[in-house]
Amino acid sequence: MKLKTIIAAAALATTFIAPAIAQTVEVKDAWVRTSVQGQKATGAFMKITAKDGAKLVSGSSPVAGVTEIHEMKMEGDVMKMRAVEGGLDLPAGKTVELKPGGYHVMLMDLKAALPKDSTIPLTLVFKDAKGAESKVELKVPVATAPMHSH
């Protein structure tokens, strides 16, 4: 019994000692949907894996006045979109996919059209279990894909 307690304590200590500077969040296959002149909003999509678990709490991009983390869900027959309260949960080691019809990074108040084959800077802010924030800077390619209805 005593030994068990010690082992548990040691495991806990290891978790806490894990260096905060290590990049523990990986973002893959990011893309943002093209937009035309006058269009106010578009979505960015990607696969995110947080090795130690984290939350995606916010984002920003110079091309958009407002950036939010959104989810789309069916409510009855209607697809509804809303901001994710308290950040998007990224369970440890599990890849969370942001995709059309589901979670996405919403870019609003677009300042210009986003043409195909251009790239945009996108900063994502993650929060770990202890509440420490880290940023990931991305260069996201602009691509076309089936419209995600808004």
Residues near Cu ion (CB under 5 A) are 70, 81, 106
Please give the Cα distance from 81 to 87 (Å, whole number). 15
Closest approach of Cu ion to the CB of residue 45, in Å: 11
Closest approach of Cu ion to the CB of residue 104, in Å: 6
108 or 113: CB nearest Cu ion? 108
Please state whether beta strands 119-127 and 133-143 pair in parallel, antiparallel, or not at all (unpaired): antiparallel
Closest approach of Cu ion to the CB of residue 113, in Å: 18
Please give the Cα distance from 105 to 42 (Å, whole number). 9
81 or 143: CB nearest Cu ion? 81
26 or 109: CB nearest Cu ion? 109
Closest approach of Cu ion to the CB of residue 148, in Å: 8
Residue 148: which residues within 8 A CB-CB, separation 6 or more? 33, 43, 72, 100, 101, 104
Chain-centroid distance of CA 73 in Å reads 17
81 or 136: CB nearest Cu ion? 81
